[in-house]
Amino acid sequence: MKITIAHNNYDKTLETVARLKDILQKKNVVFDAKYPDVVITVGGDGTLINAFHRYENQVDSVRFIGVHTGHLGFYTDWRNYDIDKMVDALLLTKGEPAKYPLLEIKMLTESGETRYHLAVNESAVKRVSHTLEADVYINDELFENFRGDGLCVSTPTGSTAYSKSLGGAVIHPRLKALQMTEIASINNRVFRTLSAPIVIAPDQWITIIPNADHFVMTVDGARIDVRNAKKIEYRISQHSIQFDQFGHHHFWARVQDAFIGEAKNNDEFI
């Protein structure tokens, strides 16, 4: 088993990383930052998402374990004081990993170039100083003409992130559905949208055709300035992000713990 550690640079994190490295070295674990089997992230959700994008070209062969050292993270199962238990479980436990759907983003430019991105949480299309005008298609059929600040397309796990703050529903990841939420849409006698989140099936896709030469696209919060894009297509990817099952809490227990309070009995949630 080849392991690497990704982390932020906060004091508590660095202390935890030093302890973790010492424990792993005593277990004669092989460290490999280039082609790891397991990526242990120490920090928070942002640290884990950054690590995913670092290894997204190896996503089918890499498993992730999250250790949080600050506020409770949605993707991070272990606390900094539990790393001894985490290492024991990692080295002694075998089983199928928990898999979460990823968002595939395909952008076609006016010059015919195709660019691909993967997202754990979501991708949004926005304009900075003007409203965004765009045609929205579902399965290549026109659904609506949108005008507003932007549109956000999220995965089920991403439904607890930016999409939730926009009024989207929280979706269990076993559904493998895409959700599109509007960002401050304009609705009047001239412009009319559904003005509600939509959830589509795993074999369907969403296409956004922006009526603008320049706009901003975000992928898991990372900003990409886009010029002369012809269309952006969103699908559930054939790939998935994999987490080690041990210590991995059930989805609804995570939701309750993150937004309401600690679940009294995690076994109640599936």
Q: How many CB atoms lie under 10 A from the CB of residue 69?
A: 24
Q: What is the longest distance spanned by two Cα atoms in the chain?
A: 69
- Is 177 annotated as belonging to a binding site? no
Within 93-188, strands assigned E span 98-109, 114-119, 122-126, 132-138, 141-154, 178-185
- Is 164 annotated as belonging to a binding site? yes
- Is 149 annotated as belonging to a binding site? yes
Chain centroid offset of residue 116 CA: 16
- Is 140 annotated as belonging to a binding site? no
- Is 111 annotated as belonging to a binding site? no
- Is 161 annotated as belonging to a binding site? yes
Q: How many CB atoms lie under 10 A from the CB of residue 35?
A: 11
Given the residues 32, 37, 45, 84, the one annotated as active site: 45
Q: Is 257 a catalytic residue?
A: no
CA–CA separation, 58 and 23 (whole Å): 26
What type of residue sits at position 210?
A: P
Angle at which helices 11-26 and 83-92 cross, to 10° = 40
Looking only at the bridges linking them, the beta strands covering 78-79 and 63-68 are parallel
- Is 10 annotated as belonging to a binding site? no
Binding residues for NAD(+), as ranges, are 45-46, 121-122, 147, 149, 160-165, 184
Report the catalytic residues: 45
Binding residues, as ranges, are 45-46, 121-122, 147, 149, 160-165, 184
